[in-house]
């Protein structure tokens, strides 16, 4: 009899585990970058980091963060902070996507990106994951949605990183406008 093999369908994974796996993948890529001295290889690793981070940030912003805001207690500030960190990360990704590894500041920008991402991941895993687990959100259903969206994004060509910044500023404009009109409604009520 074979040991350790299960014929039952793959167990559903909770969203926190799925996101953690993505985080680990990016950490490993940064580690690989630090240990590489070959410029061509470094460029390839940075391309992989940008692709991974783009897909991961997109599913978090489209699917995970709205659920955290809605279902978790006192999570608004945490989500806004996470969105702002994504925005800073995207700025660096936009710059790096137009650079070659032998340009000045290439390595410095990757180092700062690694630090930013490291800080962001630690906060998500320490605070946001806990809030998600304590909430009434269905963590397995959320994971299925994220997996489906990731598959879609993986099949698409990577957009220009500059364009993701434009989407970000449009989103904040809509947000602040709706915030403004909500404040006005409150005032006039
Ligand atoms: Fe994130
Ligand atoms: Fe994340």
Distance from Cα 186 to the centre of ligand 2, integer Å:
34
Global model pTM greater than 0.75: yes
Looking at residue 175, what is its pLDDT? 65
Is the pLDDT at 166 greater than 60? The verdict is yes
Query: DSSP labels for the chain?
Result: --SS---SPPPPPPHHHHHHHHHHHHHHHHHHHHT---HHHHHHHHHHHHHHHHHHHHHIIIIIHHHHHHHSTT-HHHHHHHHHHHHHHHHHHHHHHT--TTSTTHHHHHHHHHHHHHHHHHHIIIIIHHHHHHSS--HHHHHHHHHHHHHHHHHSPPPPHHHHHHHHHHHHHHHHHHHHHHHHHHHH-
pLDDT range class, residue 187, cuts 50, 70, 90: very low
pLDDT, tens only, 145-154 = 999 999 999 9
Closest to 130 measured CA to CA, from 68, 57, 83? 68
Return the ∠ at Cα 59 (arms to 55 and 63), rounded to 5°.
175
pLDDT, tens only, 37-79 = 999 999 999 999 999 999 999 999 999 999 999 999 899 999 9
Report the b/e string of 19-48 with b at 16+ CB within 10 A. bbebbeebeebbeebeeeeeeeebbebbee
Residues with Cβ–ion distance below 5 A, ligand 1 = 60
Distance from Cα 147 to the centre of ligand 1, integer Å:
16
Distance from Cα 188 to the centre of ligand 2, integer Å:
39
Distance from Cα 59 to the centre of ligand 2, integer Å:
9
As given in the structure block, the two tokens for residue 77 are: 């500030």
Looking at residue 4, what is its pLDDT? 40
Q: Which domains does the chain have, with CATH numbers?
A: 11-188 (1.20.120)
Distance from Cα 107 to the centre of ligand 1, integer Å:
22
Contact 53, 30 (CB under 8 A): no
Compute the distance between CA of residue 68 and CA of residue 54 in angstroms, rounded to an integer: 20
Distance from Cα 57 to the centre of ligand 2, integer Å:
7
Distance from Cα 5 to the centre of ligand 2, integer Å:
31
Looking at residue 106, what is its pLDDT? 97
Residues in CB range of 54: below 8 A, 6 or more apart = 93, 153, 158, 159, 161, 164
Distance from Cα 75 to the centre of ligand 1, integer Å:
14
Is the pLDDT at 174 greater than 90? The verdict is no
């Amino acid at each position: 009899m074979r040991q350790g093999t299960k014929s039952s369908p793959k167990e559903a994974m909770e969203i926190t585990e799925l996101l953690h796996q993505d985080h680990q993948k990016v950490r490993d890529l940064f580690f690989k970058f630090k240990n590489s001295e070959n410029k061509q290889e470094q460029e390839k690793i940075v391309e992989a980091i940008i692709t991974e981070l783009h897909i991961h940030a997109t599913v978090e912003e489209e699917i995970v963060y709205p659920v955290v805001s809605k279902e978790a207690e006192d999570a608004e500030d945490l989500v806004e902070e996470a969105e702002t960190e994504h925005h800073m990360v995207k700025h660096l990704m936009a710059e790096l996507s137009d650079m070659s590894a032998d340009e000045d500041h290439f390595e410095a920008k990757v180092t700062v990106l690694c630090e930013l991402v490291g800080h962001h991941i630690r906060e998500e895993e320490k605070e946001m994951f806990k809030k998600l687990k304590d909430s009434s959100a269905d963590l397995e259903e959320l994971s299925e949605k994220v997996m489906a969206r990731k598959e879609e994004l993986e099949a698409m060509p990577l957009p220009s990183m500059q364009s993701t910044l434009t989407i970000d500023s449009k989103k904040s404009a809509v947000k602040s406008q709706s915030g403004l009109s909500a404040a006005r409604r409150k005032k006039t009520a």
